[in-house]
Amino acid sequence: MTIERLNEALAALHGGHAPVPRAEDIFIGDGDYTAIAAEFLSYFVTVAGLKPDHRVLDIGSGIGRMACGLRLFLDPQRGSYLGFDPVQEGVAWCRQAYAGQEHFRFEWVDLYNELYKPDGTILSTEFVFPVEASSVDLAIATSVFTHLYEPEIAAYLRQTARALTPEGRLFATAYLHDGDRPAPSDRPHLVFDQQDRDYPHRWHVEGAPPLSAVCFSEEYFAQLVAENTGRRADIRPGRWRGGPGPWFQDLVLI
């Protein structure tokens, strides 16, 4: 039944039955909007075990790219979605696009980020996710940990652990490496050749702002997960570092 519903949602996505922002309104992420929505919806179901009656928390909901597919999959009577993001324009667009969908909510949070929201008033290390404890079946954080430092990631992991039900899961993406240094890349924005002097487990792209893309040691990241959630990280390498994929960034399932 779940796979049947997934196939129906994917068909609706590819058929144009989902809200899509104007190209000029998409402030983060590249590639075809609905194609990426369809790709990740498939991962949420087949990899993370998402079901139509699940309660989903979208950490960094952006311009609704993940919500796009989830709206077509989640049961409006039993499932629900809550996304939050620091970009006010993205939240405003999503609220308008999903008006009347009572099981979908979007919240703006004035979170500080060194690169993306330097005028934010709330530190990620002090932010409490706007959900009750043990109320979330699936939390998703796509391209979130790729733009945060260790204290912020640790705080988000603790908040996620608080929010998840005992059987709940976190589906996240990250850039991780399992050797002495990140794998070489033919994409200039993903050449992690700058090792942080004070944090040797962290690499950046030379010549770019530190938080434009961050790569962590896989061993360190797994330890960070264990210390802040009490769970083991299931790390699945992505195509960016020669993994079997089909996902591009590494997947981290908790």
Quick: pLDDT tens for 71-82: 999 999 999 999
Taking the complete model, does pTM exceed 0.85, yes or no? yes
Q: Please answer whether residues 71 and 101 qualify as being in contact, where contact means their C-beta atoms are separated by less than 8 angstroms.
A: yes
Confidence class for position 189, pLDDT limits 50, 70, 90: confident
Strand partners, 164: 136
Confidence class for position 4, pLDDT limits 50, 70, 90: very high
How large is the average pLDDT for residues 167-184? 95
Q: Is the pLDDT of residue 243 over 90?
A: no
Determine how many CB atoms are found less than 10 A away from the CB of residue 27. 13
pLDDT digits (tens, 9 = 90+) for 46-101: 999 999 999 999 999 999 999 999 999 999 999 999 999 999 999 999 999 999 99
Q: Where are the alpha helices (DSSP H) in the chain?
A: 2-14, 33-46, 65-73, 88-97, 150-163, 218-229
Range of the domain at 213: 2-253
Confidence class for position 199, pLDDT limits 50, 70, 90: very high
**CATH code of the domain containing 55:** 3.40.50.150
Q: Total structural domains in the chain?
A: 1
